[in-house]
Structure 1
Amino acid sequence: MTESLVEQMNAALATTIPIAGKMGVRVVEAGRGYAVTSVPAEGNGNHFGVIYAGVQFTVAEVLGGIIALVTFDTAKYFPLVKNLDISYRAMANTDLRGEARIDEETIARIEAEAAERGKSDFTVAATVTDANGVVVATSTGHYQLRALVR
């Protein structure tokens, strides 16, 4: 993904999900079937000095939408989240990185189903790590790719 596309995605993220922008959630990398996000620790703490759980949720949840936007035809489809389960594994007090991937077989299935039915459900497993590489959260998001109504 080019640097200008990353900046475009970050600008879009800040306008379409303003609270994510206020948290400082950023797209770091994205390409067919994968996305990486980050969020700073500064300004995102809670009452006992670690990163607020909602911030960790956000840095994981946006990954499914980002993957869909860079993988599928945005002139035909849009993504939405149906459910997200998250497990907080460790307390975090450094900047965070979220990462997720879907494989080519899943991409092909989603494309075929969406073309045939106008929508396709898919799952994205994400990992959130701190600056030391410690896994602080894992999530499983259930998303849907939907055809644009014309």
Structure 2
Amino acid sequence: MREAFNEGLAQLIPVAHRMGVAAVELRPGLAVCRVPLEGNGNHLGTMYAGVLFTVAEVLGGALCLPSFDTGRFYPVVRDLKVDFRRPARSDVLARAELDQATIARVAAEAEEHGKAPFTLEAVLTDTGGTVVATTVGSYQLRKH
């Protein structure tokens, strides 16, 4: 599953792939992606804010791969709010989870109505475990 996401990212979102965004753990209800600092810095020597946004935003698609039937449904992001907390001076891990009840609700609603909204909260940490950003994303699962 992880390899499929990482290979798909190169085709579907080439800019994220070029940043080095990669899934490190994917299972139903959980997505964890990593992005390296190298090549993604800014004029301050910290990670560029757009890279942090990107690694957080792709979690919506990453989480859908093991959680929903992606042959029948696809995710879209509708909104993403970022709270930058600390400068990121190392690689960053982004983590988001959905509980099983939410997954079941979203799947049933998308089946019945052709689409279903869901909210995904993410935490981005540096390699020392310091929270560098948090996000709240509004996504929608849509029927093909």
**What is the TM-score of this pair, normalised by structure 2?**
0.98
Contact 1:69 1:79 in 2 (8 A): no
Cα RMSD (Å) of the superposition?
0.7
Cα deviations by residue, 1:71-105 (Å, 9 ceiling, x for unpaired): 11112101000000010000011000000000011
Contact 1:60 1:139 in 2 (8 A): yes
- Of the candidates 113, 116, 119, which is equivalent to residue 115 of structure 2? 119
Once residues 6 and 69 of structure 1 are traced to their aligned partners in structure 2, the CA distance between those partners, rounded to angstroms, is 9
- The answer to whether residue 118 in structure 2 is matched with residue 138 in structure 1 is no
Contact 1:50 1:93 in 2 (8 A): yes
- The answer to whether residue 18 in structure 2 is matched with residue 22 in structure 1 is yes
Q: Count residues in correspondence.
A: 144
Give, in angstroms, the shift of residue 65 of structure 1: 1.1
Instruction: Extract unaligned runs of 5+ from structure 1.
Output: none
Where in structure 2 are the equivalents of 1:2-17 lying within 5 Å?
A: 5-17=1-13
Q: Which runs of 4+ in 1 moved over 3 A?
A: none
Contact 2:106 2:116 in 1 (8 A): yes
Q: What does residue 49 of structure 1 align with?
A: 45
Once residues 57 and 90 of structure 2 are traced to their aligned partners in structure 1, the CA distance between those partners, rounded to angstroms, is 19
Once residues 69 and 120 of structure 1 are traced to their aligned partners in structure 2, the CA distance between those partners, rounded to angstroms, is 16
Instruction: Extract unaligned runs of 5+ from structure 2.
Output: none
Where in structure 2 are the equivalents of 1:52-63 lying within 5 Å?
A: 52-63=48-59
Match of 1:109, SS state, is helix
Q: What does residue 36 of structure 1 align with?
A: 32
Contact 1:97 1:128 in 2 (8 A): yes
Identity %: 51
Instruction: Point out the more displaced range, 63-72 or 94-103.
Output: 63-72
- Of the candidates 89, 93, 98, which is equivalent to residue 97 of structure 1? 93
Match of 1:80, SS state, is strand
Once residues 78 and 112 of structure 2 are traced to their aligned partners in structure 1, the CA distance between those partners, rounded to angstroms, is 20
**In the alignment, residue 55 of structure 2 is paired with which amino acid?**
V
